[in-house]
Structure 1
């Protein structure tokens, strides 16, 4: 039986850091809108600086360190992927298009056959 592991924030310091991150993001967005009369530069500066500080605080928390470790592992796995060549990609795309055309023709023929059987043979209705 597989047990599911739930990652939780254990320390008060980590909870405080995550609360600070949320507060910084909210303050950045509020500051962006409140500084509308100060000019576009001031608005964007407050927003960008606030978000950068929030990301910095997040990365200093345990959740941030786990996220960075996950991102490194994911990047390592992406490097292991063997990507198809251009020729292989074009061939597979052609196969998919050919299959779609064949299936469309098959479904159209099936629809017309059932229409003919039901309306013309069984019910005797003629389309006008």
Structure 2
């Protein structure tokens, strides 16, 4: 019986790298708030550097490569989507606004009817 050591070896290498990446990211976030006296520009710049390093370390794992491939495939699928035209979007938005106004008026009329009937029932009006 032959066991593939590639999967076992890959998962053993990947877990410490993922943990290191997560620790680096958390340390960057903590440092962002800890050094609050430093100008915001430099803190954000440092956070982006830490984020880039964390992403690079994550990419070195099989999980990171899988996520990267998924993102690339998602971008390809977005290009295949048939997006509505400006006219279709405008007409749909106008239709939604009209329906919302009509339902709002109906609810207002129902509220007025219920308020009038309860007021009449209890003799308030």
How far apart are residue 124 of structure 1 and its match?
2.1
Deviation at 1:76, TM superposition (A): 2.1
RMSD: 3.0
Change (3 A) 1:35 1:106: closer
Structure 1 residues 55-106: Cα deviation after superposition (integer angstroms, max 9, x where no partner): 1111111110110121122222211211111111111111111111111110
Name the count of aligned residue pairs.
116
In the alignment, what sits opposite 2:19? 19
Secondary structure of 2:118's aligned partner: helix
- The match for 1:102 is 102
For structure 1, the residue ranges without an aligned partner over 5 or more in a row are 1-9
User: SS at 2:124's partner residue?
Assistant: coil
Aligned-residue offset at 1:35: 7.8
Quote the Cα distance in structure 2 between the aligned partners of 1:118 and 1:48. 61
Question: Structure 2 length normalisation: TM-score?
Answer: 0.72
| Structure 1 position 11, deviation (Å) | 1.7
> So what's the TM-score if we normalise by structure 1?
0.71
Sort the Cα spacing of 1:31 and 1:97 in 2 relative to 1 into closer, same or farther, 3 A.
closer
